[in-house]
Amino acid sequence: MEKNNTQPELNQEAKTLSEEEWKSKLSTDQYRILRQAGTERPFGDIYNDFKNQGKGNYYCAGCGSLLFSSGEKFDSGCGWPSFWDPAESNSVKLRSDDSLGVRRTEVVCATCEGHLGHVFSGEGFETPTDQRYCINGSILVYVPSPSE
């Protein structure tokens, strides 16, 4: 997970980039996750960094869109960054995902349509939405609040 002290520049045209442009813009892991619906390993360094981050916002590494904030962050113990809701209602899109022979709900960036992870409901977490947005930390750019 990248740390940045300023909000990344929003690229509204990101979804029109060619695959070569995406490959030159993103790291190998970010490309595999955002553009090929990959998943990072759980409980890695990125997850440990996430657990130790304070107040701030999380932006898409592909296009700079605001995705999540620390206000909706929680430790689900799953090994990936977890949030109970996006920062803004229109910042992500949900899609049906049957890729593993099981119906899941994929979470994608509403601006660049990059794969972020999956959302799960009804797991019993005591959050306002009873949802767990399980997100790959490699594609998040963390920007701490100015007071951090």
- Which residues carry out catalysis? 134
| Distance between CA atoms of residues 27 and 32, nearest Å | 9
Radius of gyration of the chain, Cα coordinates, nearest whole angstrom: 14
Closest C-alpha to 139, from 65, 43, 87, 76: 65
| Distance between CA atoms of residues 97 and 87, nearest Å | 23
| Distance between CA atoms of residues 8 and 11, nearest Å | 9
